Amino acid sequence: MINELPDFQAVKKRFEALPNGARAEIRRAALPEDMAWLSGFYRLFPGERPDERHRRLAFLLPHAKNDPNPKAQSLGSQCSKRISENRVLQIARSDSPLDIVQLRRLLIHIDPALNWSEFGRMIWFWNDKSKRKLVEDFYIAQLDPS
């Protein structure tokens, strides 16, 4: 599975099927790196050797609901209704792991329902391009006259 993307919808379902204690451990992790010490984390990715991408994904799993609709609103557009632009820009300008920690705080605050196929891809490839898309989606939704 080196060159293949995980099925992010399936990972979200595996997370929801974990025992309460394992889900709570993942939810309470302070940093993405803390995932390496949690048994529930390894159950999310059976047969794989998890890396930084897996840790980022697991770190955010508890904090966003799944909306399987392919036309679900993006995170940026959901933020445009409830979050200040300074907070979104702060995430975009921050370096790892602070950017992911701040993103998790934002998810906790707005409690979004996201299409995990799209959101998971964004987190899997988290980089400047992903951050730019978050900011662009935020401004497009905020400044849309309709």
Domain boundaries, the chain: 8-143
| Residue 4: predicted pLDDT | 84
Quick check: 52 pLDDT over 60? yes
| Residue 145: predicted pLDDT | 74
CB of 100 within 8 A of CB of 37? no
- CA–CA distance, 97 with 102 (Å, rounded to integer): 9
Give the pLDDT confidence of 70-128 residue by residue, as tens digits.
899 999 999 999 999 999 999 999 999 999 999 999 999 999 999 999 999 999 999 99
Residue that the structure tokens 């557009």 belong to: 77
CB of 58 within 8 A of CB of 35? yes
Q: What is the pTM of this model?
A: 0.93
Mean pLDDT score, 56-73 = 95
CB of 127 within 8 A of CB of 134? no
Which superfamily is assigned to 8-143 in CATH? CRISPR-associated protein Cse2 (1.10.520.40)
